[in-house]
Amino acid sequence: MPGSSRSAWFTAAALAVAAAIGAASATPSALAPLAGPSGDAPSAPWAYAGLTEQKPPPTRYTVAGVDGRRALRVEAQRSYGNLVHALPGVAAGVLSWRWRVDSPLPAADLRTRQGDDAALKVCAMFDQPRDQVPFVERQLLRLAESRLGAPLPTATLCYVWDPAWPPGSVVPNAYTRRVRFITLGTVARSWEAERRDLADDFLRAFGDESRTVPSLSAIAVGADADNTGGHSLAWIDGLQHEPARSP
């Protein structure tokens, strides 16, 4: 997302959730598979979400065969865009997937706005209570929502394939603290399996604001290369959400 548009990150997030909810015939209570017919993008309740009046081209999502399996091919070329699946009111639980990055983004740097791109990321959006959001950020949320007429995720945790960081590093987004990253990934062109306890990771990333774990509002998959002007190619499959186990 270019700098001029990044100041309205909340707008992008709101549109993502609204688009996902609108694409579903009924509010989903479980995460649908990413992989569908080859050559197509995932169907509803997955929905593509970009920016209002977006200038960069959209990131491309297509189902294709690779290594004897069917997976989601994710290609960013100076582009921006996400796939979003609404999952409102669902407890955090466990998120698992397999991913592989064939063409990373060497200029990506999560610490800076100019480098705030990702070859592949998996995000969980949480419905954090508003009274736990710092005052200034809460006012920005309200302002954006009044303009959009759409709800915004109050806390977003993204797992980013970025081997420049030690695995498991927590990094605030360069534009807004409503988004925080956990870095993963080690070797390019190699399948890696991930399994994450969303409750534990939420408290690691947002524990300075909350001692409790809110319910989810959506899950997203994304890649962007608009800030660095680069190109990336990645794959993801087996994305699953498991409910939290009873104590």
3-242 to CATH, choices 2.60.120, 1.10.1660, 2.40.50, 3.30.70: 2.60.120
H or E element, residue 194: strand 192-197
| pLDDT for the residue numbered 53 | 67
Buried b vs exposed e over 30-68: b needs ≥16 C-beta within 10 Å? ebbebbeeeeebbeebbbbbbbeebebebbbbebeeeee
| pLDDT for the residue numbered 55 | 82
Nearest Cα to 109, choosing from 100, 118, 101? Answer: 118
Instruction: Give pTM, 2 decimals.
Output: 0.89
DSSP state of 31: P
Residue-level pLDDT, tens digit, the chain, 247 residues = 444 344 445 445 544 555 455 444 456 778 999 987 778 888 888 988 876 667 889 999 999 999 988 999 999 999 998 999 989 899 999 999 999 999 999 999 999 989 999 999 999 999 888 889 888 888 888 887 777 666 778 899 999 999 999 999 999 988 888 899 999 988 999 999 999 999 999 999 999 999 999 999 999 999 999 999 999 999 999 999 998 775 5
| pLDDT for the residue numbered 25 | 41
User: Token pair for residue 103?
Assistant: 């063409």
Q: What is the residue extent of each domain of the chain?
A: 3-242
Strands 179-184 vs 155-161: parallel, antiparallel or unpaired: parallel
| pLDDT for the residue numbered 23 | 47
